[in-house]
Structure 1
C-alpha cells in the first residue's frame, strides 16, 4: 500500500476515534493524540536512523519542511480524484488524470531533492534507514489502531510492502 494512502488512512482512523465525546472535548483529545503520535514518530525515527544530537538539530527542521510539502502534494492529489466519474466528460477525466500525473511527478522530484538535502546532514545509510523507519512506524501505528473498536475491517491489510 502506498505510503501516502497509509498516512491518510492513519489520520482518518485517528480522527474518528473520539466520536463519543462532545465536539469540543473530542477536538482537544484528538489534538492530544496527534501530538502524542508526532512525539512518538520523532522518537522512533531518531532512534531507528541513529541521529546524533548535532544531526537531529539540523535534520528535523529539514524533515519537517519535507513532510509539509509532501503532505500538501498528497492533499492536492486527493482533491483531484473524484468519487464518481459518471458526471464528468471524457475531457474532464483526461485533464484530472493528467493533473494527477503532474502531481505524482512532483512528489518524485520532491523526494529526490530532499534525498540530496538529507545527505548533507546525515549519511546515505541513515537516509536509507529513514525510508524504512517511516514505513515501519506507519505499519505499527495502523496495527495498533486496527485493534480499536470502530476500525474498518481489513484496514491494516496489505501493509507488508
Structure 2
C-alpha cells in the first residue's frame, strides 16, 4: 500500500509541476493516470483484479467522457455564452430534450458498469469504486483550487 501512495503522490506532483502550456490531451491523460493510481490504492486491487477492472472501466469512462463532451459542447456552452437568451422556445425545448437524453445515457452507462463489474470485483469493491471516484474528483478540485489561490497570491 505504501508503494501505491508513493506512486499516487509522484504522479500528482508531476501533474501539478507541469507548465501551464501543456496540451489539453496531455492533461487529461495525466489526470486519468492519477485516477487509476488513486482507485487502485483505495480499492487495494490485486494484480488480477486490476487486469480485469481497467479494460471494463476504461470503456465505460470513454463512453461517459464522450457524453460529457456532447453535453458541454451542445448544451452547457451555449447556456454559458448567453446564446440561450436569443433562442426560440422550440430551440430551448430541443436543448432540454437533448440534455435529458444525455443524462439518461450516462445513467445507463453507470448501470451497465455496475453489471459488468459484478463478474470482475466483489460487491464491496464495486461500492468502494463508486466512493473512490467521487473522492478523487473532490480531492482534485480542492488541489486545483489551492493551486489557483496560491497563484493569485503571487
- Indicate if the aligned counterparts of 1:55 and 1:122 stay in contact, CA closer than 8 A: yes
2:22 maps to which of 6, 18, 27:
27
* Length-normalised TM-score, structure 2: 0.74
* 1:94 equivalent in structure 2: 93
Deviation, structure 1 residue 152: 10
Mapped partners of 1:59, 1:137: distance in 2? 17
Structure 2 unpaired stretches of 5+: 1-14
Does the alignment pair 1:73 with 2:60?
no
- Checking the alignment, whether the CA contact within 8 Å between 1:118 and 1:127 is kept in structure 2 is yes
- Give unpaired runs (5+ residues) of structure 1: 1-13, 20-25, 154-161
Q: Deviations over 1:97-155 (max 9, x none)?
A: 011101101111111011100111001111100010011111111111111246899xx
Matched ranges for 1:33-72 at <5 A: 34-72=28-66
Deviation at 1:28, TM superposition (A): 5.9
1:8 corresponds to: none
Matched with 2:117 is 118
Deviation of 1:35 (Å): 4.4
- Contact 1:59–1:122 (CA under 8 A) maintained in structure 2: yes
Tell me how many residue pairs correspond in the alignment. Answer: 131
RCO (CA 8 Å, sep 6+): is it higher in 1 or 2?
Answer: 1
